Amino acid sequence: MGANIFQTKSLEQLTGDIEKGKGLKRSLTALDLTLLGIGAIIGTGIFVLTGTAAANQAGPAITISYIMAGLACGFAALCYAEFASMIPVAGSAYTYAYATLGEVIAWMIGWDLILEYAVGSMTVAIGWSGNFQRVLLSAGITLPTWMQAGPGILPGAVINLPAVIIVLLMMILLVVGVRESARFNAAMVAIKILAVLIFLGVGFSHVDSANWQPYTPYGWSGIMGAAAVVFFAYIGFDAVSTTAEEAKNPQRDLPIGIIASLGICTFLYIAVAAVLSGIVPVTQYRSLEGSLPGAPIQTAEQVTRFLNAPVGYVLGTLHIGWADALVSAGAVAGITSVLLVMLMSQPRIFFSMSRDQLLPAGISKIHPKFGTPYITTIITCVVVALVAGLTRIEVVGEMTSIGTLFAFVVVCAAVMVLRIKRPEVHRPFRAPGGNLTPILGVISCAYLMLSLAVLTWVRFLVWLDIGMLIYWFYSRTHSPLYNPALEDKKSSSEKNSDFLTMWGGLGLFNGFWITAVGLMTVLGINSEATAKWHEVHIDPMQSVMHGVEDLVVSGVLFMMGRPKKTA
């Protein structure tokens, strides 16, 4: 192809971009990076998604879900640490894929990360609004209904105004500077850890073991489905790697920040999940009554309040006013730090892709005074604010998880590829266990992906397909790896062959995952309660058949487009 879509960008090219003055300002220490990781990890998972996943997928077994997600995350974290110490530039998984698997895979990951961080920020903003409104409620203040939530979520609701406002405030802070943002984040981390400890201290004495029965109401598939959802809350270490270009000593500090933040937070997640599910019967707050036929369920209003702010809601049921107020305020602080880190990460993915000319070069401009990627920050925050003001938290939460998991699968695979292709490269940190660690990372993250709802898969594949259209018609021809002279020499049939290869490969990708998702239910690994096939009006066996057909047709197109060997 004129643009060799599987051509990689060398490690020397990647680090050379910084040396040529295209880099960001280095100002973050190991402590800053660890606190940034904790800032992203402790927050939405504890204060929001614990309730959503427990009520709708795992029940009291949400503790097992956190353990399973933590194990998968641990494998991926070790792979991220190895890459981040070798390639200390902005871009995270996008940059790692560019160095190992080729431009087209890097584009796919970059496009996926745009989804991950943008939709994740929307989830966090909605959760922040729920906890903020609870703080106001404890002070006797109730916002007008029209500004409490998006349309259709509550009667009379028009827009989630607090969610919109907090995103725009974070935008201003991020434009001013990353060092100032890190100081703000450190303060928020201290407040929310205190809030978590207060919740554990107060809540532990009110745990009723009867609320843990039945422990696995949704079965094993529900536990793994919940693990896939709460995996969203573990992307803090991923966010640390996006700031690699701003670390003072990235080879030493990045592995410390990534692994330390993950270890500290996993313990706290499991503890909070156990206490929360022991205080109230969490399945009574599920979104759909039919997911557990015959089981008790709360009113729609109570379900909404629990799902948006489960920790504060649970303390409210204990009528301990001071604890409710303090923990809700801590949750607001905690979720604020998550939002800060996620909104910091997304523009840096845009920045890296723009610097590589896969997106318009103009948006990678750095502010002359503050040294921040201000254009991408403003674009990201405006879009996030608008969507967060109009959307349900359950929808955006699952979309973030699938994007995160896909990025982790690619990073784990890329570690193995680079070890084979560039064994001589110095690795300040090397993931232990040889290739077993990245292999387990690929398997565990792919399994969690396949445990998510089918409609989430549909949205994810459509998003990637849209991204590939943009890549083919814009990014491919603007890439520095593109060779226009070679492209001009091609005949029409050769250009058609390139097109068939590209879209045949995309069809194979879609067909593989469509088939795998269907087989998970056909083989009894997933259940209808967690896969939710009714939402797409198709049964799993039909999905398998369509996926196989897609594989066959796409395979034929791919082979037709491959260059013919000459005698």
pLDDT of residue 2: 44
pLDDT digits (tens, 9 = 90+) for 115-133: 878 888 888 898 888 888 8
DSSP state of 319: T
Instruction: Say how many residues make up the chain.
Output: 567
Gap between the Cα atoms of 103 and 86, Å rounded: 19
Comparing CA positions, the residue from 339, 52, 330, 48 lying closest to residue 196 is 330
Read off the pLDDT band of 300 (50, 70, 90): confident
SS3 content of the chain, % helix, strand, coil (to 5): 75, 0, 25
- Other C-beta atoms lying within 10 Å of the C-beta of residue 474: 13
What percentage of residues in the chain have a pLDDT greater than 70?
Answer: 88
Query: Residue 503 pLDDT more than 80?
Result: yes
98 neighbors 106 (Cβ within 8 angstroms): yes
79 neighbors 412 (Cβ within 8 angstroms): yes
Query: Does residue 214 have a cis peptide bond before it, meaning omega lies within 30 degrees of 0?
Result: yes
* Exposure string over 437-462, b if 16+ CB within 10 A, otherwise e: bbbbbbebbbbbbbbbbbbbbebbbe
Read off the pLDDT band of 3 (50, 70, 90): very low
43 neighbors 234 (Cβ within 8 angstroms): no
Task: Tell me what the mean pLDDT of segment 295-315 comes to.
Answer: 85
pLDDT digits (tens, 9 = 90+) for 38-88: 776 776 667 777 888 899 889 999 999 998 988 888 888 888 878 777 766
Return phi, psi of residue 275, to 5°.
Answer: -70, -45
pLDDT of residue 331: 79
339: amino acid identity, one letter: L
Gap between the Cα atoms of 109 and 105, Å rounded: 6
pLDDT of residue 17: 53
The more confidently predicted of residues 511 and 326 is 511
> What residues contact residue 238 under an 8 Å CB cut-off, 6+ apart?
80, 92, 93, 345, 404, 407, 408
- Mapped to the 3 state alphabet, what secondary structure does 403-468 carry? HHHHHHHHHHHHHHHHHHHCCCCCCCCCCCCCCHHHHHHHHHHHHHHCCCCHHHHHHHHHHHHHHH
pLDDT digits (tens, 9 = 90+) for 449-483: 998 889 989 999 999 999 999 998 898 888 877 77
> What residues contact residue 466 under an 8 Å CB cut-off, 6+ apart?
none
The more confidently predicted of residues 186 and 122 is 122
Query: Residue 386 pLDDT more than 90?
Result: yes
pLDDT of residue 114: 83
- Other C-beta atoms lying within 10 Å of the C-beta of residue 4: 15
pLDDT digits (tens, 9 = 90+) for 334-375: 778 778 777 877 777 777 788 788 888 777 778 787 777 888
Read off the pLDDT band of 282 (50, 70, 90): very high
Sign of the C-alpha dihedral computed for residues 458, 463, 467 and 470 taken in this order: positive
Which residue in this structure is represented by tokens 């409104």? Answer: 133
Sign of the C-alpha dihedral computed for residues 237, 241, 243 and 248 taken in this order: positive
